[in-house]
Amino acid sequence: MTGKRLTTIFILIIFVAVLLLGSAYIFLIAIPTRVAELYGAPASGLGIGTVSRYAWLLYTNQAELLKGTDEASPETLEIKINAGDDASVISTNLAAVGLIPDEEIFLKYLIYKGYDSILQSGSYSFSGAQSAVEIAAMMIDPTPEDVDFVILPGMRYTEIAALIPTAGLDFSADELLALFESGEGLIMPAIFQGAENLEGLILAGDYVIPRSVSAVEFLQALIDQTAAQFTPEVIGAFSQQGLDAYQAITLASIVEKEAIRAEEKSAIVSVFLNRLRVGMPLQSDPTVQYALGWDGASQSWWKSPLAAADLAVSSPYNTYIYGGLTPTPICSVSIDSLIAVAFPQQSDYFYFRSACDGSGYHVFAQSYAEHQSNACP
The answer to whether residues 25 and 73 touch, using CB atoms and an 8 Å cutoff, is: no
pLDDT the model gives residue 26: 42
List the beta bridge partners of residue 123: 80
Query: Does residue 356 carry a pLDDT above 50?
Result: yes
pLDDT band per the 50, 70, 90 thresholds, residue 210: confident
CA distance 89 to 42: 22
Residue 97 has pLDDT above 60, yes or no: yes
Distance in angstroms (rounded) separating the CA atoms of residues 212 and 371: 53
- Residue 18 banded pLDDT, cuts 50, 70, 90: very low
pLDDT, average across residues 82-102: 90
Cα–Cα distance for residue pair 166/163, rounded to 1 Å: 6
Q: Of 145 and 236, which is predicted with more confidence?
A: 236
For range 122-128, the mean pLDDT: 85
Give the rounded percent of residues in the chain with a pLDDT score beyond 70: 91
Compute the distance between CA of residue 264 and CA of residue 258 in angstroms, rounded to an integer.
Answer: 10
Is pLDDT of 295 > 50? yes
The CA distance from 115 to 108, in Å, is 10
Residue 46 has pLDDT above 70, yes or no: yes
For the purposes of burial, counting CB atoms within 10 Å of the CB of 211, is it exposed (0-12), middle (13-18) or buried (19 or more)? middle
| Ramachandran assignment for 207, one of left (phi > 0), alpha (psi -120 to 50 degrees), beta (any other) | beta
Residue 327 pLDDT: 96
| Residue in 287, 285, 261, 268 with CA at minimum distance from that of residue 365 | 268
State the amino acid at position 300 in one-letter form.
S
Separation CA 219–CA 203 (nearest Å): 11
Q: How many whole angstroms from its chain centre is CA 240?
A: 36
The Cα-based distances of 238 to 234, 252, 259 in angstroms read 6, 11, 20
Beta-bridge partners for 363: 353
Which of 17-21, 63-67, 244-248, 358-362 is predicted with the least confidence, judged by mean pLDDT? 17-21
Higher pLDDT, 85 or 9: 85
Report pLDDT digits (tens) over 50-74. 878 888 888 888 888 888 888 777 7
pLDDT, position 142: 58
pLDDT digits (tens, 9 = 90+) for 153-194: 999 999 999 999 888 888 999 999 999 988 899 999 999 988
pLDDT of residue 143: 60
Are 328 and 199 in contact, with CB atoms under 8 Å apart? yes
Q: By the 8 A CB rule, do 107 and 164 touch?
A: no
What pLDDT is stored for residue 7 in this prediction? 64
- Summarised one tens digit per residue, pLDDT across range 104-113 is 999 988 998 8
Average pLDDT of the chain, as a whole number: 88
To the nearest 10°, report the CA torsion of 63, 66, 72, 76: 120
Q: How confident is the model at residue 25 (pLDDT cuts 50, 70, 90)?
A: very low
User: Residue type at 323?
Assistant: G
How far apart are alpha carbons 360 and 152 in whole angstroms? Answer: 19
In residues, how long is the chain?
377
**Mean pLDDT confidence for 4-8:** 62
Separation of alpha carbons 299 and 294, rounded Å = 7
Q: Looking at residue 33, what is its pLDDT?
A: 80
Q: How far is CA 58 from CA 4, 19, 109, in A?
A: 45, 23, 7
Nearest to 241 by CA among 277, 191, 282: 277
Rounded distance between C-alpha atoms, residue 105 and residue 101, angstroms: 9
What is the mean predicted confidence (pLDDT) over 197-224?
A: 92
What span, in angstroms and rounded, lies between the C-alpha atoms of 129 and 134? 10
pLDDT tens digit sequence for 301-318: 999 999 999 999 999 999
For the entire predicted model, the pTM comes to 0.66
Local confidence band at 5 (pLDDT 50, 70, 90 cut-offs) = low
Separation between Cα atoms, residue 191 and residue 106, nearest integer Å: 49
Q: What is the mean pLDDT of residues 6-35?
A: 55
Q: How far apart are CA 18 and CA 12, in angstroms?
A: 10
